[in-house]
Amino acid sequence: MAQAETSLNSIYAEIKKLRREVELIRIALIPEEKITDEEMAEILDIDARLKRGERIRLDDALADLNV
C-alpha cells in the first residue's frame, strides 16, 4: 500500500511539474507576440490533457507549438 501511495505521489509531482512548464510556455509566448486563435487552442488542449493526467514530454509540447 505504501508503495502505491509513493507512486501516486510521484505521478502527482510530475503532473504539477508539467503543468508549470506549460504555464511557463504560455507566459513566454504572450508578451512576445500576439497568439493566434489556433495557437491558443493548442495551448489550451495541452493544458486540458495535463489536467486529465496525460503525460506530455516538453519537447513534444514545444513541437506542437512550433517552438
What are the tens digits of pLDDT across the range 25-50? Answer: 887 776 666 778 898 898 888 788 88
Residue 58: the pLDDT is 81
User: How would you class 33 by CB atoms within 10 Å of its CB: exposed for 0-12, middle for 13-18, buried for 19 or more?
Assistant: exposed
Contact by Cβ (8 Å): 15, 46: no
Rounded CA-CA distance 16/49 in Å is 13
As for how many domains the chain has, the answer is 1
Question: Which residues are CB-contacts of 64 (< 8 A; sequence separation ≥ 6)?
Answer: 42, 46
Residue 65: the pLDDT is 77
pTM: 0.39
User: Which residue segment(s) compose the domain that 40 sits in?
Assistant: 2-64
Residue type (1 letter), 65:
L
Contact by Cβ (8 Å): 39, 65: yes
Residue 30: the pLDDT is 67
